[in-house]
Amino acid sequence: MVKIPVLKSITEANALLADAIRARFVQQDVLVLNIIASPGAGKTTLLERTIEKLDGELHLSVIAGDPTTSLDAERISAAGVPVVQINTDGGCHLEARMIQAALGQLEVADADVVIIENVGNLLCPTGWDLGEDAKVVVASLPEGDDKPLKYPMAFATAQAVVINKIDLEPYVPAQVSVLRENALRINPDLAVFEMSALTGQGLDGWVDWIRGKLAEKRES
Amino acid sequence: MVKIPVLKSITEANALLADAIRARFVQQDVLVLNIIASPGAGKTTLLERTIEKLDGELHLSVIAGDPTTSLDAERISAAGVPVVQINTDGGCHLEARMIQAALGQLEVADADVVIIENVGNLLCPTGWDLGEDAKVVVASLPEGDDKPLKYPMAFATAQAVVINKIDLEPYVPAQVSVLRENALRINPDLAVFEMSALTGQGLDGWVDWIRGKLAEKRES
């Protein structure tokens, strides 16, 4: 008897496709990161700095999600790596089927790392597996140090958090140390990076973490 | 023959209920504002300052939406106005049925203005009518001055935009004037308020706008 797959929901279909994407990248030894953050938390600037830092050492490719426009992809492209823009037409998250479509357009043959920049949103993207090895949350300090408590799902499902815009600490009513504590309260296993992607401060630890995750994947 | 209402979709059911809520508030001469913004843009601080400013002049009531926690409602309650917290359990927007439920719990009998603080999200809330007279977007300067271009729906459907955290302009790579221009490019009819809710700078124009909207509603 033929076993007929029954898809119980859109998210289940998404999970199956995400697993297929993940299996493909395991074969190719490519590390895949899914970056999640509020609008304007600094995802694209983080990508620009990461690309600069790893230039000549690792090959990066980027999939950039946005409700409209290709502003982010233009910045990434100017930084010198292959990039595909996904416009969600107002949709609040990326889905595995969009990643699959993007992979048809993206040079990943010699990529070491594929970074997915999700739509600017701390809620919707958290429930959608894109086939990544790790989710990373970017938490911008001027948004306040209470965000992990108010948007716990993003922090609970991530492996790392980048606390960004720490150069603004003297000027905002939020503290890096409190944001760190609140993030670790939600998820004690988080790798935490305190950073100003704008100035480059704190970038080294983050880039080392990427190197470590890639090495880990290649050894397994 | 009895006419049977057929609801074509969840959003259509939402729109019908929103119209019913709006009709109720027309009768009661209550102004209803729906505040939409990214996480951490300063919605709650704006509410605290607005409450202080209008204390003794107008009666305010607040409905605060959040994916989890009642942190915002606690701050509003401390500011001295009736408040109901709606937890969406991770959901990314408020819906009219939630407002209807909240109104069963909220003192609005002598309210002049009901302010709805939507879930921190620049995308999902824009398509959901809550029965408000006007949507207001809070755009935080450190999020960048390109946000109206990347999240146009929020700005296109709003009547006013509060450009918040302008005290941070010297420290961030974003300009108040560019954010204003980009907002007006999306929606030339927007009332624009440049503000630091934290310091109180620019609050008077915003509070005058509320007074004007209320007067307009009572005259109509």
CB contact under 8 A, A168 and B66: no
pLDDT tens profile A151-168? 999 999 999 999 999 999
Distance from CA of B28 to the nearest CA of A (A): 34
A213 touches chain B (CB under 8 A): no
B170 min Cα distance to partner chain A (Å): 10
Minimal Cα distance from B172: which residue of A? Answer: A168
Q: How confident is the model at residue A4 (pLDDT cuts 50, 70, 90)?
A: low
What is the arrangement of strands in the sheet containing B31-37, beginning at the earlier edge strand?
A: B83-87, B60-66, B113-117, B31-37, B134-140, B160-164, B191-194
Q: Which amino acid is at A36?
A: I
- Is residue B20 a part of any domain in this protein? yes
In a domain, B35, yes or no: yes
Please state which of the ranges A33-47, B31-45, B64-78 shows the lowest mean pLDDT. B64-78
Alpha-helical (H) ranges within B6-160 are 10-27, 43-54, 71-78, 96-103, 147-150, 152-156
Is the residue at B201 inside a domain? yes
> Is the pLDDT assigned to residue A179 strictly greater than 80?
yes
DSSP string, B137-190: EEEEGGG-TTHHHHSHHHHHS-SEEEEE-GGGGGGSS--HHHHHHHHHHH-TT-
| A-chain residues near B71 (CB < 8 A) | 146, 149-150
Q: Is residue B3 part of a domain?
A: no
Which positions 100-159 of A are in contact with B (Cβ < 8 Å)?
119-124, 126-127, 140, 142-144, 146-147, 149-153
Q: Which residues of B touch A143 (CB under 8 A)?
A: 38-41, 140
Neighbour count for residue A199 (Cβ, 10 Å): 12
Cβ within 8 Å, pair B119-A123: yes
B92 touches chain A (CB under 8 A): yes
Residue A193 is part of a domain; what is its CATH number? 3.40.50.300
Does B164 map to a domain? yes
Q: Does B200 touch chain A (CB under 8 A)?
A: no
The answer to whether residue B2 sits within a structural domain is no
- Residue B113, token pair as written in the block: 């203005």
Cα(A83)–Cα(A105) distance, rounded to whole angstroms?
Answer: 9
| SS3 label, residue A126 | helix
Chain A residues touching B38 at Cβ < 8 A: 38-40, 120, 143
ipTM of the predicted structure?
A: 0.89
**Residue A14: enclosing H or E segment and its boundaries?**
helix A10-27
Give me the number of domains chain A comprises: 1
- Specify the pLDDT at position B11: 80
pLDDT for residue A150 is more than 60: yes
A89 touches chain B (CB under 8 A): no
Judged against a pLDDT cut of 70, whether residue A6 lies above it is answered with no
Q: Which domain holds residue B128?
A: 10-219
